[in-house]
Amino acid sequence: MSSREPDRPERTLAPRPVPVRRVRKRDGRELEYDATRIADAVSRAQSAVSDDDPLFASEVADVVTLTLAVRHGRLEGWDGEGRPPEPSVPGIEEIQDLVEQALIEMGRARVAKAFILYRDRRARSREALSVHAGMPRADTEFKGPIVRDSSGASPWSRGRIVAALMEEADLAQNVAEDVAARVEHRVFDSGLRRLTTSLLRELVDNELFSMGLRHALLQQEPVSLPRHDLRRLFGPPARQVLDASIDYLPGSSGSVCGVGVQSVADVAGCVASEILSRYALEDVFDERVADMHRSGDLYFEDVTRPHLVLTRSVQADLLLRREVSAHSAFELFSELAPLVRETAFGLVLEDASRVLHPLSRGPRGSAHLADFLRALGALGRAAGRSIDLSDPGGRSPALLARVLVELAILCTEGAPAPRLFLAWQEVLPALDEDPAARDAAESLLRSGRLVPVWHSGDERWVAPGCRRRGREKVALACAGAVAVNLPRIARRAGPWREDLAYEALAAMVEASLDALERLEAFQREVRGAHGETLRERRVFALTPVGLCECLRILGDGELSPDLGARLLGLFSEAAGRFASERGLSVVLSPMFGARARARFAAIDAKQPRAFQARLFEGLPAPEDEREAVYTSGYLLPRSLGAPGEAEAKLLATLRSGALFPWSPRVKPVLSSAALDDAHPAIAAWERFAELRAPRQDAAPHPFSARPGSLFAGRS
């Protein structure tokens, strides 16, 4: 037996593809292939999306180079008769398609989208600069339609659909490729030479629906406005159902979007508002509370601008940039302008006495003060917001008296002017200081330019939806408000069923806070993306709408202020307790219900109502079917006695607030001996302040200490 080992087969290496050497440009010229140009293009796409992987671009270039070698190159070691033909030359479009495919397959959808957009811009630029000799030949191969959008046109690309589905709809790559292939099949079968991006999106949505991809469909669904609604915006203005005489804010009495606007200049803003409101109801709030808004249980105040706070309250000291001088008051305007534009409704300037004192001194002090008030009103009107003042006199009764007089003169002239928010203890020294101030205050109360407020302990009412704690110096912002349909709660409970009404109200408060919690998360995300202009404490508001109608239904026709005090006490207590569990600060505010009261009444009028036998036939009817809108805020009928007395009972359980609306109760001149005939509005305000304070100090809270209350067991 031979000791020699048997022959082993000689080891050979598998043939390797030879890299391509040339590349063909779009005009037919051939240039040397350079992989670094691919890496540079990918690096630019990475920079556009902040992808800082330094090795990724070269990896993509290597993948594309290898793929081109397999497709177009020859294999090493082939010779003789079995040698393949000379390698072909790839084109620029093919190389770019391979780059897109590599980016998607390597899991970089965002980089792929940036590369696609860059490629699309270059294609549109070339098309704009090219000279077209004529129509394409009939025998030209059909490579897909041209896709048109608002900025131009681009050739068909299935990769763009894949990248968009992965980026926008969060689909896996294989699912996105399947959807894109189905869409491409439909498009090519149709034979369309041109289509729009909106039609292409509809085709994608159709495939997502047929494949049961509901989540992706919702992500892809556009927020749009039908052409019919857009045409209606250019039509005649809709009939206004809101009572502008008691609207606090300038934006709260406009027409409802989609049914006509008051001027051509309002069209763009109304279109944007309608789109934003649809986005908010579909994406910001959850489906349950959005349905409650649509059905009329709740109303999200100014849902058309969910990214903006409703109101701000800023102390004048926070806006000063240097030492106080005679010019400081007017220097505030450069700080106020950007702050008021970032609100939906307006801004309140607190404690302006420090800047108004130097302004009002001297022989022309009154003229300078009037100029400041006029400029403040003009700035608010120009911005479409309200800029108001809270306690502008400080510790100087003389200064506040001059403000009252000058403001009354401006209102008489019809000039734009701010409103004043004052408590009785703040305005009383000014009324005693100057008899003219009493006449001015009476006029301002009747016109609604002076809004009475009240404070309690260390809590001060400073602006709609804003309460200041103790000595805090930070700016405040009411970031959102929800109005609650009280008449609907009363109808569901029935006459004399307070317990059922309280249970339903507590549930409604919890639903409202769920909505405000979602709104806070959305606004926090917006602030994180765009930054904050001002450091501020954010609070939220709940607004009772239709309080009088609710009390009349619960009382079977009788309107009891004491019942209203219990209802508002529960409302405030539930809002505070439930909000603390969510880390929110929520207060009651009557000043955000102008739109809600018309909407609630219109929806409720279409619903069937159940009636039962009345216990006391002598009482007035519990409801008036002819009412166009519900009452707003704490408005009570004049039949409940002297103005101020019923309101004192009604608001005894609220620690702070605004007596709003107030002017409709005091317009008639009263002849009662208890009131001053010359100044009935001031007399009613004084009566309210005197009667309310002892009631609140003496009465315990109607729910917090009661065994078995609605809050039993809640932490």
pLDDT digits (tens, 9 = 90+) for 569-592: 999 999 999 999 999 999 999 989
- Cα 499–Cα 501–Cα 502 angle in degrees, nearest 5: 65
What torsion do the CA atoms of 61, 62, 66, 71 make, to the nearest 10 degrees? Answer: 0
pLDDT digits (tens, 9 = 90+) for 508-543: 999 999 999 999 999 998 888 777 777 899 999 999
pLDDT digits (tens, 9 = 90+) for 424-459: 999 999 999 888 999 999 999 988 899 999 998 788
Per-residue pLDDT band at 114 (split at 50, 70, 90): confident
pLDDT at 712: 45
In angstroms, rounded to a whole number, what is the distance separating the alpha carbons of residues 286 and 293? Answer: 11
Strands 298-300 vs 475-485: parallel, antiparallel or unpaired: antiparallel
Beta strands in 239-320 (DSSP E): 298-300, 309-315
The residues pairing with 75 across neighbouring beta strands, listed in sequence order, are 17
Q: Which two tokens stand for residue 277?
A: 């409101």
In angstroms, rounded to a whole number, what is the distance separating the alpha carbons of residues 547 and 490? Answer: 10
Q: Which two tokens stand for residue 685?
A: 């305000």
First and final C-alpha spacing in the chain = 97
Q: CA 282 from chain center: how many Å?
A: 12
In terms of pLDDT, which residue wins out, 300 or 169? 300
Taking residues 142-148, what's their average pLDDT? 72
pLDDT digits (tens, 9 = 90+) for 365-392: 889 999 999 999 999 998 889 999 999 9
Phi-psi region of 270 (alpha: psi -120 to 50; beta: other; left: phi over 0): alpha
Report the range out of 19-28, 178-187, 404-413, 604-613 with the highest average pLDDT.
404-413
SS3 627: coil
SS3 183: helix
Q: ω into residue 622 within 30 of 0, thus cis?
A: no
Q: Count the neighbouring beta carbons within 10 Å of the beta carbon of residue 408.
A: 22
- Cα 278–Cα 241–Cα 277 angle in degrees, nearest 5: 10
The residues pairing with 152 across neighbouring beta strands, listed in sequence order, are 149
Arithmetic mean of pLDDT over the chain: 80
Q: CA 511 from chain center: how many Å?
A: 18
Nearest to 537 by CA among 475, 624, 457, 594: 475
Nearest to 625 by CA among 609, 640, 614: 609
Lowest-confidence region among 85-99, 118-132, 597-611: 118-132
pLDDT digits (tens, 9 = 90+) for 644-702: 888 999 999 999 999 887 755 554 444 444 445 678 889 999 999 998 876 554 444 44
pLDDT digits (tens, 9 = 90+) for 213-222: 777 766 666 7
Q: Which two tokens stand for residue 325?
A: 């001088």
Q: In b/e form, how buried is each residue of 585-609, taking b as 16+ CB within 10 angstroms?
A: bbbbbbbbbbbbbbbbbebbeeeee
- Contact partners, residue 697, CB within 8 Å, separation at least 6: none
Contact 310, 345 (CB under 8 A): yes
In angstroms, rounded to a whole number, what is the distance separating the alpha carbons of residues 96 and 116? Answer: 9
Per-residue pLDDT band at 394 (split at 50, 70, 90): confident
Q: In b/e form, how buried is each residue of 290-328, taking b as 16+ CB within 10 angstroms?
A: bebbeebbbbbbbbbbbbbbbbbbbbbeebeeeebeeeb
> Could you tell me how many helices (H) and strands (E) the chain has, helices first?
27, 17
Helix intervals (H) in 467-497: 486-493
Domain ranges of the chain: 16-128, 145-222, 229-284
Q: ω into residue 495 within 30 of 0, thus cis?
A: no
Q: Which two tokens stand for residue 348?
A: 């309140």
Q: Count the neighbouring beta carbons within 10 Å of the beta carbon of residue 263.
A: 7
Contact 664, 635 (CB under 8 A): yes
Q: Inter-axis angle of helices 594-605 and 486-493, to 10 degrees?
A: 40
Q: Count the neighbouring beta carbons within 10 Å of the beta carbon of residue 675.
A: 21
Nearest to 318 by CA among 348, 346, 357, 341: 348
pLDDT at 708: 42
Taking residues 590-598, what's their average pLDDT? 89
Taking residues 344-373, what's their average pLDDT? 90
Nearest to 404 by CA among 361, 359, 458, 443: 443
- Contact partners, residue 283, CB within 8 Å, separation at least 6: none
pLDDT at 704: 45
Nearest to 421 by CA among 254, 192, 204, 656: 656
Rg (CA), the chain: 35
Taking residues 247-258, what's their average pLDDT? 40
DSSP per-residue letters across 438-470 = HHHHHHHHHHTSEEEEE-BTTEEEEETTEEEET
Contact 335, 300 (CB under 8 A): no
Whether the per-residue pLDDT at 139 is higher than 50: the answer is: no
pLDDT at 18: 66
DSSP per-residue letters across 504-545 = HHHHHHHHHHHHHHHHHHHHHHHHHHH--SS-EEEEEEEEEE
